[in-house]
């Protein structure tokens, strides 16, 4: 062994976080501390300049000393009284306690068996006491204006328990369109009722909902609302200035129980072909010709209905001209974030249940799988779920309406939910999956059929943002 090899073997180990050799700390010196050669008695000691890239050490009084002073200086900004993170945690904790009380597996099955498809008392407390229906609505219309991050935290908790409620249809799909396109009279009349939960609404579109929202394709490139004078839902103007709708919308979320329908319809024939949004008051006395039929669903907590319009009267949402397709795409990207939050919450709960079951199952006297194998699978799933959760939280905090990263976060969340739900639904030592474990698998398959699939979400996100993140279309 030469001198170079001996020096390499005896060198101090390297710290992976600092990439520098770690040496033992020197012993503290004993005896009186020697005085500095450059110190002048009676003068404050100068602080040595910080090296490049290192933070400069400051005393506790430094921020006050650095604050601007003088008659023209502005006072320093005060920190917010309620930081956004604290608001999200408050919403999360209050909602988790409420759902633990009224949204267990047995309570969910009882709620889906009702004509409404959800627990009306639970929804009254969610929208009244907690104000979930108005989290993103302006305060002037009865909302709280907390933004999408607080609503995403609430959706994560409802996804964790698979609680059936009109939160998705009302606060995520319907209310943003009404706030973006409605006239001042329509907003003043309808948004306060949506914010307090006394009115529920949903979005009814012909064809695929994911395409209409621009999640799986360009909603301006396909005649999904109808073509010419037939197909989809057709809107015609009456002699008195009103509108009449004729057609059918399938797979409408909460379409059988919503009190207000926001309907996408085609009008203008071939000459002025365009898509508009209309308001239909779902009360039978005010909407003759409206037929709503609740459909069997793979996931009973996500109720759907077929809505038929047979010369049904409607009111135009907003005024012409309006960028309806652009508003739908913006609402779709924002809805993707909330759907991703729901999927992340469901995936984390499914993973927790699977881990708890894997640690205690020995139905036939021996473990169903070797412990290391099960641990490795659960570790991989944990990384997948936390990655999806991080993407969702970043998308919820993205500035501006319609976050560009929403569809990509939804794709990762759907993949994570499908993987964890599939693992939880696998037979465990011959016992087979329980009904509660199958519920998460049903939610994963149902959401992917309605808003996916994940591969098309990724393809559309790549079309919009390009390889370097610039918005393409």
Superfamily of structural domain 326-360+370-465: Butyryl-CoA Dehydrogenase, subunit A, domain 3 (1.20.140.10)
Residue bearing the bigger pLDDT, 382 or 473:
382
Q: Per-residue confidence at 252, pLDDT binned at 50, 70, 90?
A: very high
pLDDT value for 96: 94
Least confident segment among 12-16, 306-310, 408-412: 12-16
* 3-state secondary structure (DSSP) of residue 112: helix
Query: Is residue 27 pLDDT above 70, yes or no?
Result: no
Q: Are 228 and 268 in contact (CB under 8 A)?
A: no
Q: How buried is 253 (Cβ within 10 angstroms: 0-12 exposed, 13-18 middle, 19+ buried)?
A: buried
Mean pLDDT, residues 56-77: 43
DSSP string computed for 325-391: HHHHHHHHHHHHHHHHHHHHHHHHHHHHHHHHHHTT--TTSS-SS-HHHHHHHHHHHHHHHHHHHHH
Q: Which CATH architecture has domain 202-324?
A: Beta Barrel (2.40)
Where along the chain do the CATH 1.20.140.10 domains lie? Answer: 326-360+370-465
Angle at 298 between CA 294 and CA 301, to 5 degrees: 70
Q: What does the DSSP 8-state code read for residue 146?
A: -
Query: Is residue 399 pLDDT above 90, yes or no?
Result: no
pLDDT value for 384: 96
Query: Is residue 106 pLDDT above 80, yes or no?
Result: yes
Q: Per-residue confidence at 89, pLDDT binned at 50, 70, 90?
A: confident
Least confident segment among 24-28, 92-96, 232-236, 427-431: 24-28
pLDDT value for 15: 39
Where along the chain do the CATH 1.10.540.10 domains lie? Answer: 84-199
Least confident segment among 30-34, 253-257, 385-389: 30-34
Query: Is residue 364 pLDDT above 50, yes or no?
Result: no
Residue bearing the bigger pLDDT, 336 or 87:
336
pLDDT value for 241: 86
Peptide bond into 453 cis (omega under 30): yes
Counting Cα atoms < 13 Å in the Cβ hemisphere of 313 gives 11
Q: What is the 3-state secondary structure (H, E, C) of 248-311?
A: EEEEEECCCCCCEEEEEEEECCCCCCEEEEEEEECCCCCCCCEEEEEECCCCCCCCEEEEEEEE
Q: Per-residue confidence at 38, pLDDT binned at 50, 70, 90?
A: very low
pLDDT value for 470: 55
Query: Is residue 21 pLDDT above 70, yes or no?
Result: no
CATH class of the domain at 84-199: mainly alpha
pLDDT value for 316: 96
Q: Which two tokens stand for residue 400?
A: 């501006």
Mean pLDDT, residues 438-455: 92
Residue bearing the bigger pLDDT, 297 or 55:
297
Mean pLDDT, residues 157-183: 96
Q: Are 105 and 301 in contact (CB under 8 A)?
A: no
Where along the chain do the CATH 2.40.110.10 domains lie? Answer: 202-324
Instruction: Report the distance separating Cα 314 and Cα 202, nearest Å.
Output: 15
Least confident segment among 20-34, 84-98, 442-456: 20-34
pLDDT value for 471: 52
Q: How do residues 137-149 score in pLDDT, each as one tens digit?
A: 999 999 999 889 9
Cα-based torsion angle of the residue sequence 82, 142, 137, 339 in order, rounded to the nearest 10 degrees? 90
Residue bearing the bigger pLDDT, 293 or 51:
293
pLDDT value for 402: 78
Least confident segment among 80-84, 313-317, 405-409: 80-84
Q: How do residues 309-359 score in pLDDT, each as one tens digit?
A: 999 999 999 999 999 999 999 999 999 999 999 999 999 999 998 888 776
Mean pLDDT, residues 200-219: 94
Instruction: Report the distance separating Cα 342 and Cα 164, nearest Å.
Output: 12
pLDDT value for 63: 37
Give the mean pLDDT of the chain: 81
Mean pLDDT, residues 199-226: 92
pLDDT value for 213: 96
């Amino acid at each position: 062994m030469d001198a170079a090899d001996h020096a390499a073997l005896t060198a101090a180990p390297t710290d992976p976080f600092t990439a520098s050799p770690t040496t033992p700390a020197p012993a503290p010196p004993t005896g009186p501390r020697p005085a500095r050669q450059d110190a002048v008695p009676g003068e404050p000691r100068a602080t040595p300049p910080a090296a490049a890239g290192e933070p400069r050490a400051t005393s506790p009084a430094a921020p006050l000393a650095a604050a601007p002073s003088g008659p023209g200086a502005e006072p320093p900004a005060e920190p917010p009284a309620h930081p956004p993170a604290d608001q999200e945690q408050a919403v999360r904790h209050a909602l988790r306690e409420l759902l633990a009380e009224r949204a267990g597996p047995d309570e969910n099955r009882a709620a889906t068996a009702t004509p409404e498809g959800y627990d009306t008392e639970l929804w009254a407390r969610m929208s009244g006491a907690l104000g979930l229906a108005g989290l993103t609505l302006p305060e002037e219309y009865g909302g709280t204006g907390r933004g999408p991050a607080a609503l995403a935290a609430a959706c994560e908790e409802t996804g964790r328990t698979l609680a059936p409620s009109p939160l998705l249809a009302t606060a995520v799909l319907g209310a943003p369109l009404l706030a973006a396109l409605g006239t001042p009279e329509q907003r003043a009349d309808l948004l306060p009722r949506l914010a307090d939960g006394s009115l529920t609404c949903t979005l009814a579109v012909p064809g695929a909902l994911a395409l209409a929202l621009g999640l799986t394709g360009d909603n301006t490139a396909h005649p999904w609302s109808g073509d010419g004078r037939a197909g989809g839902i057709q809107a015609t103007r009456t002699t008195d200035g009103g509108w009449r709708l004729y057609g059918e919308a399938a797979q409408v979320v909460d379409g059988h129980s919503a009190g207000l329908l926001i309907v996408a319809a085609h009008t203008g024939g071939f000459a002025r072909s365009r898509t508009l949004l209309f308001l239909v008051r779902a009360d039978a006395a005010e909407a003759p010709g409206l037929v709503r039929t609740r459909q069997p669903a793979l996931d009973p907590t996500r109720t759907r209905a077929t809505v038929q319009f047979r010369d049904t009267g409607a009111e135009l949402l907003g005024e012409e001209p309006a960028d309806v397709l652009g508003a739908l795409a913006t609402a779709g990207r924002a809805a993707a974030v909330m759907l991703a939050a729901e999927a992340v919450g469901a995936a984390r709960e499914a993973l927790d249940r699977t881990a708890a079951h894997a640690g205690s199952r020995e139905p036939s006297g021996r473990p169903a799988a070797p412990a290391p194998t099960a641990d490795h699978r659960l570790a991989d799933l944990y990384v997948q779920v936390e990655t999806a959760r991080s993407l969702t939280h970043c998308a919820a905090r993205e500035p501006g309406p319609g976050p560009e990263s929403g569809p990509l976060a939804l794709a990762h969340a759907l993949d994570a939910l499908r993987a964890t739900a599939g693992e939880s639904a696998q037979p465990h030592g011959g016992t087979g999956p329980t009904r509660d474990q199958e519920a998460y698998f049903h939610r994963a398959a149902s959401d992917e059929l309605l808003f996916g699939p994940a591969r098309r979400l990724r393809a559309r996100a790549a079309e919009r943002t390009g390889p370097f993140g610039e918005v393409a279309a």
